Amino acid sequence: MKPLITTPKAEEDSVLYSPFTRETGMQVSSIGESTLITRIKEWLGLCNPASPMGIGDDCAVNPIQDPEAFHLTTIDGVGWGKHFDAHVPPEAVGRKLLGRNLSDIASMGGIPTVAVVALWLSPQSNLQWLERFYRGLAAMAGMHGVQVVGGDVSAAPENVFIADLCLQGYCRRPLLRRQVSPGDTLWVTGTLGGSALGKHHTFEPRMEEGQWLSESGWAKSMMDISDGLGKDLPALTGPAVVRIDPLPISEEAKQMATSSGLTAFHHAVNDGEDFELLFALDRSVDVPTFVKDWTNRFHTPITRIGIVENAPSESGFHWLDCEGKPFPKASGYEHF
Amino acid sequence: MKPLITTPKAEEDSVLYSPFTRETGMQVSSIGESTLITRIKEWLGLCNPASPMGIGDDCAVNPIQDPEAFHLTTIDGVGWGKHFDAHVPPEAVGRKLLGRNLSDIASMGGIPTVAVVALWLSPQSNLQWLERFYRGLAAMAGMHGVQVVGGDVSAAPENVFIADLCLQGYCRRPLLRRQVSPGDTLWVTGTLGGSALGKHHTFEPRMEEGQWLSESGWAKSMMDISDGLGKDLPALTGPAVVRIDPLPISEEAKQMATSSGLTAFHHAVNDGEDFELLFALDRSVDVPTFVKDWTNRFHTPITRIGIVENAPSESGFHWLDCEGKPFPKASGYEHF
């Protein structure tokens, strides 16, 4: 998502949600850290196990996973004015914080386990907003079997709300990037572009799809699309020449194109925050069998978006249209 | 540390260090995210293993530790104006970020393994400052066998620098809080108070001491002192009555008392950021043997700071002086 820095209206406006309040009795500074942590434990409910497995000691103490698996770690955050604005309900912000990280675990073919959350709160942070944020996070955690086992709370400057979440997991067969060869086909789940219209905070991370693509042995390389296909496809293939098929452009990308002055294709490859899976099948894969196997299991659409013509390529990454002509360069989402 | 929010002078003043610069060619926004991540990998050097063990995929993929151990996770951050100001060299900020988390692993008796770092950078963030920050972090990581295996970078509002670090580790015998009984003695390493004069960013986390206290079997309960003894002692003992011995008050606490209008004792129990170990020995421990065993191994001083008279206590936590009179209440460091 491009930064949507909005100035929230007064809290009385029921359509807008601000993490901050001028009402001192509702501010985080009115209760102090110990009480806040007690509240956070309540808000997290069942996804917060008793100490020392969960919140309450210097570290969370958890059993070691299956020693024949690989351990996975990822960290990703959300910030006010950057990843959400006053149009996003607080539950959806909590949901998105975990969802971004779940999508990373999914893209390795992994199973998520435990999370810790670092919060940076203005003294003016609104406790009601915060409760709804944590309840959204807890609901998402419960849905995916994640336990929130610890965290940290620090004071931030005025009008700053930042939350980082570190998620761990494990997998038996991690699906890495940069494993493609000529003839491999490239696929995406779902549709691309226009996530700023809502999908950026309502998306479902593709957990079962990712796990199945790893365990079944079908996929050979995978990542999630978070910065737009234009940036993430080169990250998956490395320096390669890829011939592109028609992309599954979302209705939202087409809708944004009616007013943005940009094409729907531009939105599909640059918008970011799709949180779809991008994966490669080996050239030896019998595609009809794969597609049948997929559709027997999932309603999620998949689309072949291209084929690797040359990899590794000495001249870097290039994509060509179906007639072999170079495609316009696409940078994806640039963070700075 | 109490928040020391200073306004840095111009960057030309060589004594002050600001994470931000007005010189556009030195700003993080001048190079973009991909180049920044490449630089971060260079700055981290040997403590950043090759992908997929380190930076470069959706998750870090690491082998599972000793399956007979417990897995430890902690997260802690540093923020500009809160945990450091323009008087702290950037290397020391990186060092402190990891050190805070190492101290948590030490206090469980654990061995640290891998870390991920989430950065929130203003577009005006100074690349030279950032390089020095990472080199300080890398030096500390190398010293303690920690690998920095991943991270995240997000754009922050102007004049915000926030970094969260999630550190993992393992231990065979985790030393938890709230394991004390009447007659147990309470001990601290080093001296307490006045860390704002420098120790808050120069401290050495007590890794070997913590591991030995766990593995040797001497200690039964442990934590690190990060919010001041006044807050952390009740966190260690839970509701208990504790009779206090003279505390090992630091020279810095005494120095601060000469100008703060507060007593050195007040500084010793409320300042926070001591990063010393606070631990309990069972009443059955032969104290002279323990002290001899300790001094054979470590130069770090230890002091008996009290004895548990009653635990659990129905009336909450109380501390008494050596004559049995109630001590002044101490809150430790309050974050909001």
Residue B1 has pLDDT above 50, yes or no: no
Cα nearest neighbour of B103 on chain A:
A58
Distance from CA of A323 to the nearest CA of B (A): 30
pTM exceeding the 0.95 threshold for the entire prediction: no
Using the Cβ of B105 and the Cβ atoms of chain A, whether some distance falls under 8 Å is answered with yes
- Measured between CB atoms, which of A105, A123, A168 is closest to B336? A123
Residues whose CB falls within 8 Å of the CB of residue B106, separated by 6 or more in sequence, listed in order: B205, B206, B207, B209, B210, B211, B224, B277
- Measured between CB atoms, which of A164, A168, A169 is closest to B118? A164
Using the Cβ of B152 and the Cβ atoms of chain A, whether some distance falls under 8 Å is answered with yes
Q: Is the peptide bond before B312 cis (omega within 30 degrees of 0)?
A: yes
- Measured between CB atoms, which of B79, B150, B176 is closest to A57? B176
Beta carbons of B64 and A69 less than 8 Å apart:
yes
Interface of A with B in 195-234 (CB under 8 A): 223-224
- Measured between CB atoms, which of B62, B159, B170 is closest to A70? B62
DSSP A159-218: T-EEEEEEEEEEESS---SS---TT-EEEEES-BS-GGGTHHHHPPP-HHHHHHHHHTS-
The dihedral formed by the CA atoms of B20, A7, A259 and A253, expressed in degrees to the nearest 10? 70
Beta carbons of B117 and A76 less than 8 Å apart:
no
Beta carbons of A155 and B224 less than 8 Å apart:
no
- Measured between CB atoms, which of A56, A224, A335 is closest to B154? A335
For residue A103, give the nearest of A176, A206, A230 by alpha carbon: A206
pLDDT digits (tens, 9 = 90+) for B151-202: 999 999 999 999 999 999 999 999 999 999 999 999 999 999 999 999 999 9
Residue A296 three-state SS: helix
Q: Is the peptide bond before A239 cis (omega within 30 degrees of 0)?
A: no
pLDDT digits (tens, 9 = 90+) for B209-255: 999 999 999 999 999 999 999 999 999 999 999 999 999 999 999 99
The pLDDT, as a whole number, for residue A14 is 52
Q: How far apart are the first and last CA of chain A?
A: 12
B72 vs A contacts (CB less than 8 Å): 59-62
Using the Cβ of B235 and the Cβ atoms of chain A, whether some distance falls under 8 Å is answered with no
A51 vs B contacts (CB less than 8 Å): 176-177
Interface of B with A in 281-300 (CB under 8 A): none
B108 vs A contacts (CB less than 8 Å): 57-59, 61
Amino acid letter, residue A220: K
Q: Is the peptide bond before B52 cis (omega within 30 degrees of 0)?
A: yes
The average confidence (pLDDT) of chain B is 91
- Measured between CB atoms, which of B51, B65, B74 is closest to A64? B65
Distance from CA of B89 to the nearest CA of A (A): 21
Cα nearest neighbour of A55 on chain B:
B74
Residues whose CB falls within 8 Å of the CB of residue B76, separated by 6 or more in sequence, listed in order: A118, A152, B97, B100, B101, B104, B164, B165, B167
Amino acid letter, residue B35: T
Of A5, A166, A168, which to mutate for an interface test with B (greatest number of B Cβ within 10 Å)? A166
- Measured between CB atoms, which of B3, B73, B110 is closest to A116? B73
Distance from CA of A61 to the nearest CA of B (A): 5
Interface of A with B in 297-336 (CB under 8 A): 334-336
User: Are A228 and A271 contacting, i.e. CB atoms less than 8 angstroms apart?
Assistant: yes
Cα nearest neighbour of A37 on chain B:
B335
Confidence band for B297, pLDDT divided at 50, 70 and 90: very high
A65 vs B contacts (CB less than 8 Å): 64, 71
Gap between the Cα atoms of B245 and B304, Å rounded: 7
Cα nearest neighbour of A177 on chain B:
B57
Amino acid letter, residue A198: G
For residue A274, give the nearest of A309, A247, A239 by alpha carbon: A247
Gap between the Cα atoms of A239 and A305, Å rounded: 17
Using the Cβ of B114 and the Cβ atoms of chain A, whether some distance falls under 8 Å is answered with yes
Residues whose CB falls within 8 Å of the CB of residue B302, separated by 6 or more in sequence, listed in order: B187, B188, B189, B291, B294
The pLDDT, as a whole number, for residue B244 is 94
For chain A, 336 residues long, give each residue's pLDDT as a single digit of tens.
Answer: 333 334 444 444 457 899 999 998 999 988 888 899 899 999 998 888 888 888 888 888 888 777 888 999 999 999 999 999 999 999 999 999 999 999 999 999 999 999 999 999 998 999 999 999 999 999 999 999 999 999 999 999 999 999 999 999 999 999 999 999 999 999 999 999 999 999 999 999 999 999 999 999 999 999 999 999 999 999 999 999 999 999 999 999 999 999 999 999 999 999 999 999 999 999 999 999 999 999 999 999 999 999 999 999 998 999 998 888 887 777 777 767
Beta carbons of B154 and A62 less than 8 Å apart:
no
How far is C-alpha A68 from the chain's CA centre?
27
Amino acid letter, residue A312: P
- Measured between CB atoms, which of B33, B67, B170 is closest to A336? B33
Distance from CA of B159 to the nearest CA of A (A): 10
User: Are B232 and B309 contacting, i.e. CB atoms less than 8 angstroms apart?
Assistant: no
Structure tokens at A84: 């959400």
B64 vs A contacts (CB less than 8 Å): 64-71, 170
- Measured between CB atoms, which of B28, B82, B116 is closest to A75? B116
Cα nearest neighbour of B27 on chain A:
A336
Beta carbons of B170 and A66 less than 8 Å apart:
no
Mean pLDDT, to the nearest integer, of B278-290?
97
Using the Cβ of B81 and the Cβ atoms of chain A, whether some distance falls under 8 Å is answered with yes
Beta carbons of A116 and B61 less than 8 Å apart:
no
